[in-house]
Structure 1
Amino acid sequence: EARFVWGAVHLFDKFKTRFQARFDAQHFFDGKWAEQLARHARFDDSAYKLEPNLKDSPGGLRDLHTIHWIAQACGITGGWNGLAQANLLTRLEARRITHVETGLSGLRIHLHLLAKRREDRLAFDYQTELAAQLGLTATAHKRAGEHLMQGYYRAAKLIQRANDILLQSLRVRLFPVTAPPEPIDEDFQVRANLLEARTADLFKRKPDALLRAFILYAQRPTLAGFEPTTLRALWRGRTRINAAFRANPAHRALFMSLLRQPRGVTRALRAMHRYGLLGCYIPAFGRIVGQMQHDLFHVYTVDEHILTVLRNVRRLTVPEHVHELPLASKLITAFEKPELLYLAALFHDIAKGRGGDHSELGMADAKRFCTQHGLDKTDSELVAWLVGMHLVMSRTSQKEDISDPEVIAAFAAKVGSLRRLTALYLLTVADIRGTSPHVWNAWKGKLLEDLYKTTRMHLTSGEVAVPDTSTRQAEARVNLALYGLPNTAADALWQHLDPRYFARFDALDMAWQARMLWQRTDSPDAVVRARLSHAGEGIQVLVYTPSHPDLFARICGFFARIQYTILEAKIHTTQHGYALDSFQVMDLVNRGIHYRDFLSFVEHELSRDLDPARPIQAVPRGRLSRHQRHHPYSTTVRVETDGPGHGHMLSITCADRGGLLFEIAEVLMRHNITVYAAKIDTLGERAEDTFQILGEALNTPAGVEALVAEIRKALKQ
């Protein structure tokens, strides 16, 4: 680009002449193409960041500038109208892109003025104010800032499509393809490793080819994409996908055929989505395109999350990835009709943003779609049930005591069959892994796997899965013998434990605890032992000490100070007044410390902190992130009866921050509440914590209200 501003015009003309004489258009294209790839990589190739860069993100203004520059290198001037005159755009498309470019440029100017500096990132701090300046207002189910961002994401998607199509078209002008085409059938051929329609009017003559093109794309993994003319025709052909098209039985059969392909399903559906066809074929999907989820743990728009979950289900079928999730990979290979899982993935969040329960609304959408597409009653009901129940397994595994036979029996009753259990397990794994790169961990995987196996046992036997404690004890004794300990080594500890202990811990944990506490069962000093967690991530910590009221708060404070998060706590009190507590904890900052040194550090420092004579050390209060401040998540605190003889259940959902668990533990300590189990579920920037508690304050409504009020106050400060 060059513009004459001031000076001698003849010198400017001379400069342009010399520049054009030396200009290598092919070299320029290669350089700009590489530059764009590198720029996109800086943003993880995603246009859907929570705080996108208006200029440099994929789908940003720089993608439009790149089209202009390469078009000029090809001798096409005049901007979007010039591209229309060159038959690379229609007049309508040129007007739409001009409108989007003008809108983003204006938004960027507003952003600079609001920030009082050059600022191209649509940060949370500015989204609400920008929405107000542009006249956007909140509606029943969306904030004004969310309307702003959905408009931005849809604009970015349009720019991405235009960038794909136009750069490929310009590439062909600069690098003409001379290789002869390879015919596939009467309608399609492959040219230069790109799928090409054999006639320009194919999609007009045969609308079903709009779907057949993507089936061929799925079947041929070596294809690099679509030939530019064909790509433009596909994009323009999306308008043919109307109610009559969707009602055509042949078209419905083709879509199901795409889902049943042995390979390439994810990339084909992503391509359909990228070029606007998927949202036309499934209108409910089209409505959630670009819809952000400000729930503090999803980092993708709803449409991107859905396709990521679908990819995760498909990934389970790939032999190269079996090592990631061996059980899930084994189960999906034996699962009949995996396309049912893909449909459940497509519909599980499709009703978000409508108000009401998105699971129930999506369930109705899924049932209708499956019936229309020829699935039998059993299969249609399975898909709809999966959509309606897709949150249940994760909630059960992460919030309830899955060692409790009653919990397993209740969950098994909801599931009803082994086929449903397997399908729900596979969908749940894929869903959690598709929310954010930081939500899934090995511990959550182990909880889900344990819940699956225990429930499977219950469903196949038809009986309540009561733990065989005598077998566990026998296995623990065998394990102790491997370490050269006598057969009676565990008796000194076990004589002080009630049956509930043996139901909550497995044989390996019981053996480890007995070995660590051999000849220490009456120790006046705290015994702290740590080891790598058998879940595959984090560490397991054993605390054995004379019980005292502030013990849980001290332990929570210690891990908060060293920036470790507690995933689960099993807290047991022996019959002679000792606390026998087990904690699963994980590093929040991944410091890469040698594990032996760190285990020794935990054992020494935590033992010191548990001395009742020492004051409880303060924990610096964590600060809320900008995302949490600008998209506040409502705090809920509930206390419910946890069944006869089981005490109470305290459930807390709120924005996560450093020291949160310690603050809760301090409130419980002040109310003389004993925690005997805790499940700490951190979902991105949101905490969903569940505590099983006992205490006299819980015996009266006034006591419960006072506890809830103080917890709320602590969380708001």
Structure 2
Amino acid sequence: MASPDKFNYLPKAADLLKKSQSAEGPDRLKVYKDYLQAGLDALTKQFQKGTSIIQLLRARSALMDHILITSWSQFSVNSGSALIAVGGYGREELQPYSDIDILVLLTEEDSHDDNQEKNLELEAWLAFLWDIGLEVGHSVRTIAHCESLALEDISVATNLIESRFLCGDRLLLKELNSRMKEAGFWPSEKFFRAKLDEQTARHIKFKETSFNLEPNIKSNPGGLRDLQVIQWITLKHFKSSSLHDLIKYGIFTRREYRSLLNGQQFLHRVRFALHVLSGKREDRLLFEHQKKVAEWMGFEDHDNKLAVEHLMQRYYRAVMIIRNLNELFLQIFEQEYLQVNQDTEYVELDDDFYLHNQRIGIKEPDLFLRKPHALIKIFRHIALNPEIIQIEAKTMRKIRSSQQMVNRKYRRDPINISYFKEFLSTKQLTSRGFALMKRTNILGAMIPKFAQIEGQMQFDLFHAYTVDEHTLFLLRYIIRYNKPEFQHEFPLCRKIMKTLVDPTPLYLAAIFHDIGKGRGGDHSELGAVDALEYANSIGLEKHIAKLISWLVKNHLIMSLVAQRKDISDPDVIESFANNIPSILHLELLYVLTVSDIRATNPTLWNSWKESLLKELFLATKHYLTQSTPRANQTEMMEDTRQQVLEQFTKTGDSIEPVRELLVELGDDYLLRYHPEQIIWQTEQLLSQPELPYVAIKNHRSQAGTEVFIAVEDQPDLFAAITALLSQNHLNIQAATLFTSPKGLCLDTFIVLDEQGHPLSYEQRIQEIQDNLIDGLGDIKNRGISVSRAVPTRLKYFTVKTRIEFINHDNSPFTTLEITALDRPALLANIGQAFRDCEIEIHSAKIVTLGERVEDTFTISDRDNRPITDKARIKEIKQHIEEAINA
């Protein structure tokens, strides 16, 4: 136990003792609070001066030691018991607001309930610690009780092996330690298995990724807990609390030890800053803290990167090192010190590699020197053999130590190139080949531009992972289409992959699609140049190189068209198709787009996006395979009318009412809606409903819910509908708005619930239907407002508002594009602005990208004319900006 006076920047220990002895009640409380705060202030100043974080954590522990020991004595609770520090406090790794984990160790005599006086003293002391602001986690047990609980619970056992004596009867801890050293107390192999199971469960909880954009510094894979697993096993088996000793035990090299230590110190510094800045025990590096932590740790904006992006890139690289070394340690310890599964059969894969315990290994230690191409060949084995889960530890170390071989000369060697091209052209059965190639740094060595995006984050809510981890997820989804067990998920993607002879263009397009990020400029353009240059450098055929570059350059276009354009409009399909060189380009772009959205953020993908992309793909493919020009608008309109009338003819009812209704609604109606929608809407209208009328059903794609509203035209209609839908916690995905010559509005909204799913419960649907009818019954005299709290995380982002009016010569309407920070009821507020400016809305496409919305509206004035006057546009912009900022 170190004295706080050892750390000369801390408040003097003697001052606390002197002042607290002469004080009582509230005065004593204030003395301890002031001492605690003075200690925190001193540590904070030392942190900002760059003092070693390990020393600061020990200093914090020493400060806490003195507070506990001094107060323990003053409350007279030291007789016949011992005060023990356990957990992180026992390790002397105490952060500013960490829990103070203590064990009060009692003799058997003192443990009896009739010792009331002593119990009261202990309760009073613990209450005092809480009152001065300490988060105390305490247990009061006898040696026998500790032993019993520890044998049942690995967490208790782990805490106890890190125990550190503070004060009281030292013999009690000595006796406890002797019990824990007995052969039956968690033997090494049992302890190892328990800690490994704990870690596996924890990694699964965090979806096996170290690269979440709001990571838990302590618990995420590669976080401090992974490092502590190494410490615990080392302490239990080798009876050493020093990780440096792992060098002499042959588990780590000096270089690996230094890397581990650097990663540990960096994470400790981030956690220290996080605690101080948040003023509480906080292990999650949330968006709201990241900018402040980056500034506090001295990171600055430069090189097209924000300070926060520099911080997070350093963080991700640190956790990757810790995770890799954690796996290396566990595997070497299991193989060489526990010597389990030694009798398992070795399976020969070829002349160079074998499989043992689901791990691939090299037969000869100098393999990579003799056959440099084997550095690539090993990953092809992994990609094709689902039985291979890991790379054997010694082989992993050889790969990492050989990565400097992969230089410019290596990348130009025809043999090495041929093996890498073979890896890329293989229809892989598992994504582990790419994942392990990335984690061993071979992927970054083979494609140097990829190494630049490793750990690159984007400070927004749209991207859930770092650029490199997102790329791995993208590759994982592409490869997943090859697997029979997932054929039901995306049958169209699977069909395309099945007919694809060579997946090289798709794999390389995936690797390069975001490789231009973090360099400024358009990342699609930059990546396309990089992809073309790389494809040519490895000798791919010119048309393949151009295909890869085209996919990278256009990897966003399909998503943009599907989500922002009216893909039922033949002109939109024709315009999009004219940018697609061939069916192969379209097919690969579709697979890349679906996989890219799925890999960007788990919350982004929904059934509506899936249906839009599929519809766009099929319509474009049909257009590209047509041998005759597409039908003109008049022919399309008549074809739709005929389909509708034929459907009603099948029912045996008179079609005259249908024909009359279609004439009354006008030709524009036949062009605005899909025939299936017209049939359904006509059925509703012919039932002679009272207005307003609302009908709700699943969209024909089954991917969203279609809300059909028939109501008399009035100025506040769009604002009212959007407000009512928002009040009912529905997210609008698209809207088609139509007003007949006689003033009947037929508006259709595609909506999803707050979880991104179509509505499925009849009771909920009926409730929404009733609310809409009630709300639309008297819009003029009934104010409809929306009040929903802004989610906390949105407060930490800024999105530059962009409002753009677009008028094309051949379009009867104006296109309005709005980009803004998302917030509850934003669309309803924009609807109010449209009402105030007397704007007619004909259709809307709603796209939410994390914290940003990118909405597109087709609008006109009240006389159905495009809006072109500059003064009028300026006025409308002002109203919309006010609505966005309301």
Question: With structure 2 as the length reference, what TM-score do the two structures score?
Answer: 0.77
Q: 3-state DSSP class of the match of 1:171?
A: helix
Which residue number in structure 1 is paired with residue 219 of structure 2?
A: 56
Which residue number in structure 2 is paired with residue 497 of structure 1?
A: 665
Whether 1:515 aligns to 2:683 is yes
Residue 446 of structure 1 is aligned with which of 596, 611, 617?
A: 611
Q: Which amino acid aligns with 1:485?
A: D
Give the paired residue count: 715
For residue 527 of structure 1, report the CA deviation from its aligned partner: 1.7
Q: Using the alignment, how far apart are the partners of 1:465 and 1:296 within structure 2? A: 43
Q: How does 1:392-411 map to 2 (within 5 A)?
A: 392-411=557-576
Which residue number in structure 2 is paired with residue 487 of structure 1?
A: 655
The worse-fitting range, judged by mean Cα deviation, of 294-303 and 615-624 is 615-624
Contact residue 656 and residue 687 of structure 1 kept, 8 A: yes
Residue 702 of structure 1 is aligned with which of 868, 871, 876?
A: 871
C-alpha offsets along residues 359-394 of structure 1, whole Å, 9 cap, x if unaligned? 000001110111122211111101100100111111
Q: Using the alignment, how far apart are the partners of 1:182 and 1:422 within structure 2? A: 39
Which residue number in structure 2 is paired with residue 82 of structure 1?
A: 245
Q: Using the alignment, how far apart are the partners of 1:247 and 1:134 within structure 2? A: 41
Whether 1:549 aligns to 2:728 is no
Q: Using the alignment, how far apart are the partners of 1:557 and 1:526 within structure 2? A: 16
Contact residue 462 and residue 601 of structure 2 kept, 8 A: yes
Contact residue 679 and residue 689 of structure 1 kept, 8 A: yes
Residue 314 of structure 1 is aligned with which of 479, 483, 495?
A: 479
Q: How does 1:291-440 map to 2 (within 5 A)?
A: 291-440=456-605
Which residue number in structure 1 is paired with residue 137 of structure 2?
A: none
For residue 508 of structure 1, report the CA deviation from its aligned partner: 1.2
Q: 3-state DSSP class of the match of 2:686?
A: coil
Q: Using the alignment, how far apart are the partners of 1:575 and 1:105 within structure 2? A: 69
Q: Which amino acid aligns with 1:101?
A: Q
The worse-fitting range, judged by mean Cα deviation, of 106-115 and 383-392 is 106-115
The worse-fitting range, judged by mean Cα deviation, of 367-376 and 35-44 is 35-44
Which residue number in structure 1 is paired with residue 272 of structure 2?
A: 109
Q: 3-state DSSP class of the match of 1:223?
A: coil
For residue 105 of structure 1, report the CA deviation from its aligned partner: 1.3
Q: Using the alignment, how far apart are the partners of 1:524 and 1:7 within structure 2? A: 84
Which residue number in structure 2 is paired with residue 175 of structure 1?
A: 339
Unaligned regions of 5+ residues in structure 2, if any? 1-161
Whether 1:712 aligns to 2:875 is no
Which residue number in structure 1 is paired with residue 835 of structure 2?
A: 669
Which residue number in structure 1 is paired with residue 449 of structure 2?
A: 284
Contact residue 461 and residue 849 of structure 2 kept, 8 A: yes
Q: Which amino acid aligns with 1:87?
A: G
Contact residue 295 and residue 633 of structure 1 kept, 8 A: no
Q: 3-state DSSP class of the match of 1:56?
A: coil
Whether 1:243 aligns to 2:411 is no
Q: Using the alignment, how far apart are the partners of 1:450 and 1:469 within structure 2? A: 20
Q: 3-state DSSP class of the match of 2:656?
A: coil
Q: Which amino acid aligns with 2:647?
A: N
Q: Using the alignment, how far apart are the partners of 1:318 and 1:497 within structure 2? A: 50
Q: Which amino acid aligns with 2:434?
A: L
Q: Which has the larger radius of gyration?
A: 2
C-alpha offsets along residues 140-164 of structure 1, whole Å, 9 cap, x if unaligned? 4222122111111111111111111
For residue 4 of structure 1, report the CA deviation from its aligned partner: 4.2
Q: Using the alignment, how far apart are the partners of 1:466 and 1:430 within structure 2? A: 35
Whether 1:3 aligns to 2:164 is yes
Q: Using the alignment, how far apart are the partners of 2:808 and 2:356 within structure 1? A: 66
User: For the structure 1 residues 76 and 193, does the alpha-carbon distance in structure 2 shift closer, same or farther, using more than 3 Å as the test?
Assistant: farther
Contact residue 412 and residue 538 of structure 2 kept, 8 A: no
Contact residue 429 and residue 482 of structure 2 kept, 8 A: no
Whether 1:588 aligns to 2:754 is yes
For residue 20 of structure 1, report the CA deviation from its aligned partner: 1.9
Q: Which amino acid aligns with 1:81?
A: H
Residue 153 of structure 1 is aligned with which of 316, 319, 323?
A: 316
For residue 672 of structure 1, report the CA deviation from its aligned partner: 0.5
Q: Using the alignment, how far apart are the partners of 1:503 and 1:228 within structure 2? A: 65
User: For the structure 1 residues 616 and 234, does the alpha-carbon distance in structure 2 shift closer, same or farther, using more than 3 Å as the test?
Assistant: farther
Q: Using the alignment, how far apart are the partners of 1:269 and 1:647 within structure 2? A: 49
Q: 3-state DSSP class of the match of 1:545?
A: strand
Q: Using the alignment, how far apart are the partners of 2:377 and 2:394 within structure 1? A: 17
C-alpha offsets along residues 68-106 of structure 1, whole Å, 9 cap, x if unaligned? 111233327363321112222211221121111112112
Whether 1:653 aligns to 2:792 is no
Residue 19 of structure 1 is aligned with which of 154, 157, 180?
A: 180
For residue 28 of structure 1, report the CA deviation from its aligned partner: 0.2
Q: Using the alignment, how far apart are the partners of 1:301 and 1:379 within structure 2? A: 28
Question: With structure 1 as the length reference, what TM-score do the two structures score?
Answer: 0.95
Q: CA RMSD in A?
A: 2.2
For residue 13 of structure 1, report the CA deviation from its aligned partner: 4.8
Using CA pairs below 8 Å that are at least 6 residues apart, which structure has the higher relative contact order? 1
The worse-fitting range, judged by mean Cα deviation, of 661-670 and 593-602 is 593-602
For residue 589 of structure 1, report the CA deviation from its aligned partner: 4.2
Unaligned regions of 5+ residues in structure 1, if any? none
Q: Using the alignment, how far apart are the partners of 1:643 and 1:331 within structure 2? A: 39
Q: Using the alignment, how far apart are the partners of 1:711 and 1:370 within structure 2? A: 47
Q: 3-state DSSP class of the match of 1:59?
A: coil
User: For the structure 1 residues 295 and 635, does the alpha-carbon distance in structure 2 shift closer, same or farther, using more than 3 Å as the test?
Assistant: farther
Residue 32 of structure 1 is aligned with which of 195, 203, 209?
A: 195
The worse-fitting range, judged by mean Cα deviation, of 15-24 and 65-74 is 15-24
Q: Using the alignment, how far apart are the partners of 1:336 and 1:181 within structure 2? A: 34
Q: Which amino acid aligns with 1:541?
A: V
Whether 1:472 aligns to 2:633 is no
Whether 1:630 aligns to 2:793 is no
Whether 1:263 aligns to 2:428 is yes
Q: Using the alignment, how far apart are the partners of 1:320 and 1:71 within structure 2? A: 41
Q: Which amino acid aligns with 2:660?
A: A
User: For the structure 1 residues 484 and 270, does the alpha-carbon distance in structure 2 shift closer, same or farther, using more than 3 Å as the test?
Assistant: farther
User: For the structure 1 residues 116 and 294, does the alpha-carbon distance in structure 2 shift closer, same or farther, using more than 3 Å as the test?
Assistant: closer
Q: Which amino acid aligns with 2:481?
A: L
User: For the structure 1 residues 179 and 417, does the alpha-carbon distance in structure 2 shift closer, same or farther, using more than 3 Å as the test?
Assistant: closer
User: For the structure 1 residues 148 and 42, does the alpha-carbon distance in structure 2 shift closer, same or farther, using more than 3 Å as the test?
Assistant: same
For residue 9 of structure 1, report the CA deviation from its aligned partner: 6.0
The worse-fitting range, judged by mean Cα deviation, of 600-609 and 673-682 is 600-609
Q: Using the alignment, how far apart are the partners of 2:383 and 2:491 within structure 1? A: 26
Q: Using the alignment, how far apart are the partners of 2:762 and 2:657 within structure 1? A: 26
Q: How does 1:577-616 map to 2 (within 5 A)?
A: 577-589=743-755, 595-612=761-778, 614-616=780-782
For residue 607 of structure 1, report the CA deviation from its aligned partner: 1.8
Which residue number in structure 1 is paired with residue 856 of structure 2?
A: 690
Q: 3-state DSSP class of the match of 1:543?
A: strand
For residue 257 of structure 1, report the CA deviation from its aligned partner: 1.3
Q: Using the alignment, how far apart are the partners of 1:592 and 1:693 within structure 2? A: 27
Which residue number in structure 1 is paired with residue 256 of structure 2?
A: 93
Q: Using the alignment, how far apart are the partners of 1:642 and 1:319 within structure 2? A: 48
Q: Using the alignment, how far apart are the partners of 2:534 and 2:443 within structure 1? A: 14
Residue 123 of structure 1 is aligned with which of 271, 286, 291?
A: 286
Q: Using the alignment, how far apart are the partners of 1:499 and 1:374 within structure 2? A: 56
Which residue number in structure 1 is paired with residue 398 of structure 2?
A: 233
Identity of aligned residues (%): 34
User: For the structure 1 residues 206 and 393, does the alpha-carbon distance in structure 2 shift closer, same or farther, using more than 3 Å as the test?
Assistant: same
Contact residue 428 and residue 482 of structure 2 kept, 8 A: no
C-alpha offsets along residues 558-580 of structure 1, whole Å, 9 cap, x if unaligned? 10001101111111111222111
Q: Which amino acid aligns with 1:599?
A: I
Q: 3-state DSSP class of the match of 2:244?
A: helix
Q: Which amino acid aligns with 2:656?
A: T
Q: 3-state DSSP class of the match of 1:694?
A: strand
For residue 481 of structure 1, report the CA deviation from its aligned partner: 4.3
For residue 218 of structure 1, report the CA deviation from its aligned partner: 1.6
User: For the structure 1 residues 706 and 101, does the alpha-carbon distance in structure 2 shift closer, same or farther, using more than 3 Å as the test?
Assistant: same
